Structure 1
Amino acid sequence: MLSGFKKFLMRGNVVELAIAVVIGAAFTAIVNSFVKDVLTPLIAAIGGQPDFSGLTLRIGAGEIRYGLFLNALIAFLMVAAVIYFLVVRPYERISARFAAREEATHRECPECLSEIPSAAVRCAQCTAQVTPAL
């Protein structure tokens, strides 16, 4: 019984997931610090007070604190922008660079658009003659 649990924990997926969670938590701290300590003061310097938590709307005896929502929304947008421009875009560029280097082994048939090997002289689907790609 215990050996099965050990095998489960030592599977690649579980270990990789644990590593991803730890790295994700560390990365979250870095991004949140960048937003809080760098971007928010820049916004305050440009546009004034960056804290909207004091904004409220009274309706009868109730109070709607829409300023807290605005703070959360602005923080979310800044975190999303940081992740997109500092992680996603560079990763896409690097991935595209490596993908372009990989040699294509298949191509599309110009007649039927099915996938054929690069060295093919005839399409297996429509039997059209094609020039082999070198």
Structure 2
Amino acid sequence: MSGFKKFLIRGNLVDLAVAFVVGAAFAGLVKDFANSFITPLIALLGGKPDYTALAVTINGTKFPYGIFMTSAIAFIITAAIVYFLVVLPTTKLIERMDRGKEATERECPQCLSDIPVRALRCRHCTTELVPSAELPR
């Protein structure tokens, strides 16, 4: 039983659980934002994107492709919201924060692998390297 307790309390599992709960809450937030603001804007321009009634019947079997179309449109809207309101600003913030940091790796001119800046030999292809001028020895 103690092994099971350690498994449940281990950092990775707790982090995963927290990420799942926050992700679920965030998904609800994005969905409500899309339903409250984005979908009405689209309805102003071209009508409400609800195609759930669209279907085709072949040999008596109904294929409701409109349900898929509505879900696909909702997915695209949600993905755009997440990209423009979360991913893009976060990427810009990380770039801004990393501007002043010094490089810790460089590219091997022979095999193009990442190696430490101060390395004198590539760990991948064993090419002898010229010491980098970026960091003092």
Superposition TM-score tier, normalisation by shorter sequence: 0.7 to 0.9
Q: Which runs of 5+ in 2 are unaligned?
A: none
Counterpart Cα distance in 2 of 1:96 and 1:54: 46
- TM-superposed CA distance for 1:75, in Å, is 0.6
Matched, 1:53 2:52: yes
Counterparts of 1:4 and 1:129, CA distance in 2: 51
Q: How does 1:45-124 map to 2 (within 5 A)?
A: 45-108=44-107, 112=110, 115=115, 117=117, 123-124=120-121
The residue aligned with 1:37 is 36
Report the RMSD for the aligned CA atoms in angstroms. 2.4
- The SS at the match of 1:9 is helix
Identity %: 45
Bigger Rg, which one: 1
Does the alignment pair 1:7 with 2:6? yes
Q: Distance in 2 between matches of 1:46 and 1:7?
A: 55
Take 1:129 and 1:51, find their aligned partners in 2: how far apart are those partners? Answer: 63
1:2-47, Cα deviation, whole Å (9 max, x unpaired): x222222111111111111110111010011111221111111110
Q: Report the Cα distance in structure 1 between the residues aligned to 2:41 and 2:12, rounded to whole angstroms.
A: 41
State TM-score, norm by structure 1: 0.79
Q: Indicate the residue corresponding to 1:16 in structure 2.
A: 15
Q: 1:103 and 1:62, CA in 2 relative to 1: closer, same or farther beyond 3 A?
A: same
Q: Secondary structure at the match of 2:102?
A: coil
In the alignment, residue 24 of structure 1 is paired with which amino acid? G
Mean Cα displacement is larger for which, 33-42 or 98-107?
98-107
2:88 aligned partner, one-letter code? R
**TM-score, normalised via structure 2 length:** 0.77
**Which whole-Å CA distance do the structure 1 matches of 2:132 and 2:6 have between them?**
52
